């Protein structure tokens, strides 16, 4: 029979009496302690926790995926600056000397390797310096970028610091794991001009960089092709800044359009991630065709993009690709042009195992704008 005096439904034992020492008016349990009593490193002025104030501002440039950029070395710094100017605030510039950092870049974006004043085009030494200072770069990634899912690493081939960039790949991978990124590290590297390649050291460094990034997703920008497209239009002083801006704008447009819905066909974030995630070389090119009223529109798009890109032309069939088109209302209202657009997508699709496409309508477009990427190409 239950005991009427038993109010403990679960038959808990009555609480034990506290230890005698806890009943004392003053004992060790009640003593006040200070951090310095334990010899904590915080007591020596080392900041162990970081606030949101250390983070760089969020990107204002629209993107369907969470991206960050890291420029390494002089050429990489200049490419990174082009993305900062477009609103990609989550961008870091890593260098072994402050002399190569663009003057207009705010200090918060800069990671300067200590006790170093350049690498002297010595890749072996550069890899050693970057490896030894990997913790500095890793801390900057975590503190300043926070979490990004896709990390684009920019570097110039030929110099010492940029050509050594893959020494930091374990650091990039560790950072990505630590913030639980869902994407990958993608390299965007430049190849020297024909004249620069006459210098055996520059040629050797560039080849080392190209070989080092070959197994990772990467884009190669050939400076010879880029400058040839601009010669006679841009002076020498502005040639590389313009080339960097051109590429950054095309890349930014793909990120932006992937955020938008289309009444015809959308290119979404999963399409974009599938393309970017393919290991090996990627090609990217763009063109504007004033009169899309041609049955050979697909061939015109493909060849224009290849001929007017800083990337070396694609060889073989791509594992994946994307064709993003921006058209006018008049174009998609015209049955013949609409048929040409459909045929063009099919034509380009034959060059890829899988092609993702998007068609976006804009007012007052001066012509059909096409941005083509081909990913997972053989190197």
Percent of the chain's residues with pLDDT above 90? 80
| The predicted structure's pLDDT at residue 23 | 47
Q: What is the pTM of this model?
A: 0.86
Taking the C-alpha atoms of residue 136 and residue 234, their distance in angstroms, rounded to an integer, is 38
* Sequence ranges of the domains in the chain: 61-256, 281-377
Taking the C-alpha atoms of residue 84 and residue 90, their distance in angstroms, rounded to an integer, is 8
| The predicted structure's pLDDT at residue 324 | 98
**C-alpha 325 chain-centroid distance:** 23
Cross-strand pairs, 154: 71, 188
CA angle 222, 225, 231 (to 5 degrees): 135
281-377 belongs to CATH 3.90.1150.10:
no
For residue 85, what are the CA distances in angstroms to 91, 220, 230, 256, 269?
Answer: 10, 22, 21, 15, 23
Q: Are strands 110-112 and 91-95 parallel, antiparallel or unpaired?
A: parallel
Tell me the pLDDT of the chain (379 aa) as tens digits.
Answer: 445 444 444 343 444 444 444 444 444 444 454 434 444 433 444 443 445 778 999 999 999 999 999 999 999 999 999 999 999 999 999 999 999 999 999 999 999 999 888 999 999 999 999 999 999 999 999 999 999 999 999 999 999 999 999 999 999 999 999 999 999 999 999 999 999 999 999 999 999 999 999 999 999 999 999 999 998 888 888 889 999 999 999 999 999 999 999 999 999 999 999 999 999 999 999 999 999 998 899 999 999 999 999 999 999 999 999 999 999 999 999 999 999 999 999 999 999 999 999 999 999 899 999 999 999 998 7
Taking the C-alpha atoms of residue 208 and residue 63, their distance in angstroms, rounded to an integer, is 32
The token duo for 356 is 């993702």
Range 61-256: architecture per CATH = 3-Layer(aba) Sandwich (3.40)
Taking the C-alpha atoms of residue 287 and residue 369, their distance in angstroms, rounded to an integer, is 6
Q: Exposed, middle or buried: residue 323 (CB in 10 Å: 0-12, 13-18, 19+)? A: buried
pLDDT digits (tens, 9 = 90+) for 69-93: 999 999 999 999 999 999 999 999 9
The token duo for 328 is 């006018």
Nearest to 226 by CA among 212, 211, 236: 236
CB 318 within 8 A of CB 351: yes
The token duo for 4 is 């009427």
Secondary structure letter of residue 15 according to DSSP: P
| The predicted structure's pLDDT at residue 45 | 42
The token duo for 255 is 């990120």
CB 142 within 8 A of CB 175: yes
Taking the C-alpha atoms of residue 127 and residue 202, their distance in angstroms, rounded to an integer, is 16
Taking the C-alpha atoms of residue 78 and residue 237, their distance in angstroms, rounded to an integer, is 13
> Strands, DSSP E only, in 150-271?
150-156, 185-191, 217-222
Cross-strand pairs, 322: 356, 373
| Dihedral (Cα; 304, 307, 309, 315), 10-degree rounding | 100
The token duo for 57 is 């501002």
Taking the C-alpha atoms of residue 225 and residue 283, their distance in angstroms, rounded to an integer, is 13
């Amino acid at each position: 029979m239950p005991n009427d005096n038993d109010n403990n439904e679960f038959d808990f034992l009555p609480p034990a009496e506290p230890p005698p020492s806890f009943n004392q008016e003053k004992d060790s349990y009640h003593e006040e302690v200070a951090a310095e009593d334990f010899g904590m490193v915080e007591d020596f002025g080392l900041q162990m926790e970081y606030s949101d104030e250390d983070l760089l501002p969020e990107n204002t440039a629209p993107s369907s995926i969470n991206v960050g950029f890291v420029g390494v070395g002089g050429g990489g710094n200049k490419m990174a600056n082009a993305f900062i100017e477009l609103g990609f605030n989550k961008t870091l510039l890593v260098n072994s000397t402050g002399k190569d950092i663009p003057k207009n870049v705010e200090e918060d974006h800069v990671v300067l390797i200590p006790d170093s004043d350049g690498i002297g085009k010595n890749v072996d030494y550069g890899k050693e310096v970057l490896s030894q200072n990997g913790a500095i770069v890793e801390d900057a990634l975590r503190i300043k970028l926070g979490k990004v899912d896709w990390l684009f690493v920019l570097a110039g081939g030929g110099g010492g610091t940029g050509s050594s960039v893959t020494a930091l790949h374990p650091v990039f991978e560790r950072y990505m794991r630590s913030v639980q990124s869902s994407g990958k590290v993608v390299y965007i590297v430049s190849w020297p001009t024909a004249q620069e390649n006459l210098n055996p050291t520059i040629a050797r460094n560039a080849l080392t960089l190209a070989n080092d990034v070959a197994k990772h997703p990467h884009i190669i920008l050939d400076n010879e092709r880029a400058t040839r497209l601009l010669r006679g239009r841009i002076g020498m002083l502005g040639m590389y800044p313009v080339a960097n801006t051109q590429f950054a704008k095309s890349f930014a447009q793909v990120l932006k359009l992937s955020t938008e819905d289309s009444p015809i066909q959308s290119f979404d974030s999963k399409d974009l991630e599938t393309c970017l995630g393919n290991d090996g070389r990627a090609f990217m090119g763009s063109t504007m065709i004033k009169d899309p009223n041609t049955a050979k529109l697909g061939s015109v798009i493909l060849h224009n993009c290849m001929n007017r890109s800083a990337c070396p032309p694609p060889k073989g069939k791509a594992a994946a690709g994307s064709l993003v088109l921006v058209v006018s209302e008049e174009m998609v209202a015209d049955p013949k042009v609409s048929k040409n657009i459909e045929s063009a997508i099919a034509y380009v699709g034959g060059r890829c195992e899988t092609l993702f496409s998007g068609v976006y309508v804009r007012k007052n477009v001066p012509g059909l704008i096409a941005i083509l990427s081909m990913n997972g190409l053989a190197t």
